[in-house]
Amino acid sequence: MRQPTDGSIVQARRLRKVYRGANEVEALRGIDLEVERGEMVAIVGPSGSGKTTLLNCLSGLDSFDGGQVVVDGQDLSTMSDRARTAYRSKNMGFVFQAFNLLPVLSAVENVEIPLLLQNLNSRDSRRRSLEMLETLGLAHRANHRPDQLSGGEQQRVAVARALVHKPAVVWADEPTGNLDTEVTQVIVELLVRMNKDGQTIVLVTHNPQVAERARRTVRMRDGRIETVARELAGVV
């Protein structure tokens, strides 16, 4: 059921997530968070603070034990896995630390995946994917496979894949974790540019230089939001 958004594209209320096992760990302890449409939010915090878990729950990759997550008016907590999967394919893009490109597919074939999943025919998928790669300066590498690309190029392909179907939100988990400073800069600039074009981006990072480029920084500790800082809050 579509929920009122009040200008927010992502709303999390009293979000709880518990990892059960020999030692039960409460990874998220009643998180409340809103992300505005067109906003770029960085989630930071020490290891084990729950950053990636929060991102997984917000993006519908993971289920949660309590609370509510509404993305673009859709309540993820009431959705079946099937509906969440379909919703992800249409409305979300992902960028991961390890790039996570399919090693057996070329750059353009990797980028095409979200479009094909939306049943776009292969000709249009190819055209739009090539356009996206061109936008990111990778048109000449379109037919190369991941093992023929540098780390920066692989991550740019991953960004292209995340953006190609114009998702409501792009989720990026440590997108520069495997990159050197120079390439990190390139990727961050790319994300900032996309954000300026109106793309909502939520990213998890350890890197202060990356975090300070976000409009808002959410600092987490022990499964809770510790502070929220707006606009170039370099202190976080």
> 54-93: which residues touch another protein (CB under 8 A)?
56, 59, 61-63, 81-82, 85-86, 88-90, 92
Residue 206 CB, shortest distance to another protein, in Å, is: 16
Q: Find residue 221's DSSP bridge partners.
A: 224
What are the tokens at 140?
Answer: 């000449």
> 98-137: which residues touch another protein (CB under 8 A)?
98-105, 109, 113-123, 125
102: left (phi over 0), alpha (psi -120 to 50) or beta: beta
Contact 216, 231 (CB under 8 A): yes
> 181-210: which residues touch another protein (CB under 8 A)?
none
Angle, alpha carbons 189-215-30 (nearest 5°): 125
> 160-179: which residues touch another protein (CB under 8 A)?
161, 178
Q: How would you classify the pairing of strands 40-44 and 216-221?
A: parallel
> Is there binding between residue 148 and another protein (CB under 8 A)?
yes
Contact 142, 108 (CB under 8 A): yes
> Is there binding between residue 156 and another protein (CB under 8 A)?
no
User: Given the rule CB under 8 A, which residues bind another protein?
Assistant: 52, 56, 59, 61-63, 81-82, 85-86, 88-90, 92, 94, 96, 98-105, 109, 113-123, 125, 145-148, 151, 154, 161, 178
